[in-house]
């Protein structure tokens, strides 16, 4: 079982929709969590960090639930340009060794 699990999708939603992704992690020692975005055949880029108190950046909201060991990403008012793969990343304390989920594909259509 991978340390970080994601539903690969694809999530196919119309413009303007709200969509949510979840990611579960198995290592309870994991301390830091992030969401990365990866466009087709491009390198991943940081979308946002995930804090226990939640984190909001415009249309994007990320949350961490340590009790249930999952993190979430909510995208409101989806745009065509949001179409991409969203990667969940966790890392344990000590050495910073990030572990990636397999990614969730989002397709936003007109």
Contact status: 97 vs other proteins (CB under 8 A) = yes
What's the min distance (Å) between Cβ of 82 and other proteins? 20
The DSSP code for 80 is G
Determine if 90 is a binding residue for other proteins (CB under 8 A).
no
Sole window of 21-29, 67-75, 76-84, 97-105 interacting with other proteins (rule: CB under 8 A)? 97-105
Say if CB 37 and CB 47 are below 8 A apart.
yes
Residue entry with tokens 């020692």: 29
Using DSSP, state whether 35 is helix, strand or coil. strand
**Which listed range, 12-20, 58-66, 72-80, 98-106, lies at the site for other proteins (CB under 8 A)?**
98-106
In terms of C-beta density within 10 A (0-12 exposed, 13-18 middle, 19 or more buried), how is residue 108 classed? Answer: buried
Q: Which residues bind other proteins (CB under 8 A)?
A: 2, 8, 32, 34, 36, 41-46, 49, 87, 89, 95-103
């Amino acid at each position: 079982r991978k340390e970080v699990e994601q539903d690969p999708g694809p999530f196919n939603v119309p413009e303007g929709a709200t969509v949510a992704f979840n990611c579960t992690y198995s290592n309870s020692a994991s301390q830091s969590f992030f969401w990365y975005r990866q466009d087709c055949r491009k390198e991943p880029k940081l979308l946002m960090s995930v804090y226990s108190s939640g984190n909001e950046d415009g249309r994007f909201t990320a949350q961490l639930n340590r009790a249930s060991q999952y993190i979430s990403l909510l995208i409101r008012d989806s745009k065509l340009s949001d179409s991409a793969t969203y990667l969940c990343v966790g890392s344990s304390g000590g050495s910073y060794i990030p572990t990636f989920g397999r990614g969730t594909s989002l397709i936003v259509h007109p």
